[in-house]
């Protein structure tokens, strides 16, 4: 069956492109002078991220620069992704401390349970999102890296409103 087409005449004020062109140009011009901007000029500008943002980890330290961690083993126990490797050891004074504390950030699902369970407030999730590395192995954060990072840390809850009401 042959295909037939039927051309319908439309009113010229509906089909003219000239009006639409000027409408579009007017919108563009309006944005040129309008100070309201949505695009963030990353990386020169950065978003403020929320206080409960859960990013890559940090280990907080005591005044003398050693990790606060006492190697209690609660975070590897609670971790649903099984991404924390902890080997406890004993220092010269007989204090318990982590010999190895590795977090595999690839495996991590950023649930924040480790921070929540930590009795020493040592391990924290970071308010941080720039995580690019050149090597896959660099995503396994060891204790040195976890303690030397300085980005702000996640507030699991708002201290003024701990129940989130």
Partner 1 sequence: MTDPKLVNLTIEGRAVSVPDGTTILEAAKTAGVLIPHYCYHPGLEIAGVCRMCLVEVEKWPKLAPSCATTAADGQVVHVYSQKALDARKGVLELLLINHPLDCPICDQAGECELQDYTFQEGRADSRYREPKRFTPAEDFGGDVMYVTNRCILCTRCVRFMGDVAGDEALCVEERGDRARIGIAPDHDLTHPWAANVIDLCPVGALVSKDFLNKARAWELDRTASICPNCSQGCNITLETRDADVVRMKPRSNADVNQYYLCDEGRLNYQWINRDDRLETPVVAGQLASWEAALSAAGAALKGGAAHVVASASLSNEALWLLKQAAGTGKFRVTKGAEAPLPGVKDLALRADRAPNATGAERLGFSRADQPLAGAGKVVVIAGDDCDGLDTAALAAAQSVIVVGTVAPKGLPANAILLPVANFAEEEGTFTNLRGRTQRFLQARPAPGLARASWMALAGLVAAAGKAGAYDSAEAVFAAMAKSEAAFSGMSYDSLGLKGQMAAGAGVNA
Question: Can you give the binding site for partner 1, defined by CB under 8 A?
Answer: 70-74, 76-77, 88-90, 94-96, 119-120
Q: How far is the CB of 89 from partner 1 (least distance, A)?
A: 7
Contact 59, 66 (CB under 8 A): no
Class of residue 140 by CB neighbours under 10 A (exposed 0-12, middle 13-18, buried 19+): middle
Euclidean distance between CA atoms 108 and 125, whole angstroms? 11
Closest CB to partner 1 among 90 and 130?
Answer: 90
Closest CB to partner 1 among 51 and 76?
Answer: 76
For the chain, first and last CA: distance in Å?
Answer: 68
Q: How far is the CB of 132 from partner 1 (least distance, A)?
A: 32
Which segments of 31-112 are extended strands (E)?
Answer: 55-59, 84-90, 96-104
Closest CB to partner 1 among 102 and 152?
Answer: 102
Closest CB to partner 1 among 88 and 152?
Answer: 88
Q: How far is the CB of 55 from partner 1 (least distance, A)?
A: 25
Q: How far is the CB of 147 from partner 1 (least distance, A)?
A: 19
Helices (H), 12-86: 12-15, 17-33, 74-78
């Amino acid at each position: 069956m042959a295909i037939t087409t039927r051309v319908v005449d439309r009113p010229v004020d509906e089909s003219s492109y000239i009006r639409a062109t000027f409408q579009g140009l007017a919108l563009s011009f309006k944005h040129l002078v309008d100070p309201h901007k949505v695009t963030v000029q990353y990386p020169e500008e950065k978003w403020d991220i929320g206080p409960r943002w859960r990013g890559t980890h940090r280990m907080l330290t005591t005044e003398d620069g050693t990790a606060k961690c006492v190697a209690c083993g609660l975070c590897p126990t609670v971790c649903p992704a099984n991404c924390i490797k902890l080997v406890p050891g004993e220092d010269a004074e007989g204090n318990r401390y982590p010999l190895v504390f590795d977090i595999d950030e690839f495996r991590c699902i950023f649930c924040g349970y480790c921070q929540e369970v930590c009795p020493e407030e040592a391990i924290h999730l970071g308010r941080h999102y720039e995580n690019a590395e050149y090597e896959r192995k660099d995503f396994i954060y060891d204790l040195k890296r976890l303690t030397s990072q300085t980005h702000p840390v996640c507030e699991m809850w708002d201290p003024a409103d701990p129940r989130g009401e």
